[in-house]
Amino acid sequence: MDESKKNPQLSLPPKEFLGTFEERISWAGSMVQINDEEFKDLSPKEHAALMYIDMIKTFVSGRVFRNAELSVVPRLGPNMLRTIQFNEPKRDGGNDWTFAGDTMTGQKRLDNVHALLKDVIENKVIGDYIETGVWRGGSSVLAKAVLEVLDPNSNRVSYVCDSFMGLPPGEKKLSKRDAGWDNTPYLEVASDIVANNFIKYGLLDSNVIFAKGFFNETMPPLAEEIKSLSIMRLDGDMYESTVDVLYHLYDKLSIGGYVIMDDWFGFPSKTACEDFFAVHGMEPEIIPIDNLSAYWKKTEDVQEISVQKMCLIATSRFTILAEYINFNMT
């Protein structure tokens, strides 16, 4: 990163927050009886970790700004977007785009990232975290924050993958619905902006690795570098972008790990997943997060497939997909 573009750190490191929060909880807890089921069995240290993580959620989602925040009405294309008064229910489900925040994923999806990372940490599922399609980086910032406080002694890497210039033109003929995702300036966020979002929260370190480029360019070398993954969070919207990630990295996902699909209901990325399931003979349990997103847990390894097997499936899309995968993986 060019030093001239680096912004100052605005937030204390996680350890400083945790110490301050733990002191407050211990002091206040000495004078009250905590009856709430969610909190009564938590130690001050555990409670402080939850406070810190939830604080980061409010910042990256833009909810911390309350009436000073705006809801941007989602729309693809080059035209100027419009804002409306901040709509908390829409933000909860990720149905608006944030104005001042760092992620458009919404509260329910942020809670999901937190919950699944907590699960893989507690169950000792090995592997790094990867997000493919990060926009301003807020979801990846949250994931790094969770790892810092719940798994502070691990060396799990957070991979932050994006073109940092918007989505590809969708010209590979894999899906007719891939067209039109490019040329939306609001979705084009430079890597310096994303890096600065890690910096301002004190969360940029050597275990945060940026992979810049379209996924057909970055996934092949990452497949050589990455040993194992515990969570894959895909936010590429398109069929093509989803194919590039799944076919290169799914075998790196540990048993007990998760795939989070930010774009599931009504997106071409869902079709890409269903085709991936078909050619591998998979039937994972799909668990909805909100009205747009879903995830599944990897419970078994999948067999490696051949291009010839894909061509046996009698649809033109599979034939085109086989040719595309053969080109990009050889």
Q: Which residue numbers are catalytic?
A: 111
Stretch (H or E) spanning 257: strand 253-261
Give the type of residue at 317: R
| CA 72/CA 96 separation, integer angstroms | 6
d(CA 215, CA 65): 34
Residue 329 and residue 247 in contact, taking contact as beta carbons nearer than 8 Å: yes
C-alpha dihedral sign at 271, 243, 144, 184: negative
Whole-number Å distance between alpha carbons of 83 and 61: 16
Residues in the chain: 330
Query: CB count, 10 Å around CB of 288?
Result: 12
Residue with tokens 């079709």: 271
Closest among 104, 241, 247, 266 to 169, alpha carbons compared: 241
Beta strand 229-234 with 208-212 is: unpaired
Is 99 in contact with 69 (CB distance < 8 Å)?
yes
> Closest Cα to residue 279, out of 310, 317, 316?
310
The H or E element spanning position 185 is none
Please give the Cα distance from 222 to 167 (Å, whole number): 19
Taking the CB of residue 36, how many other CB atoms lie within 10 A of it?
8
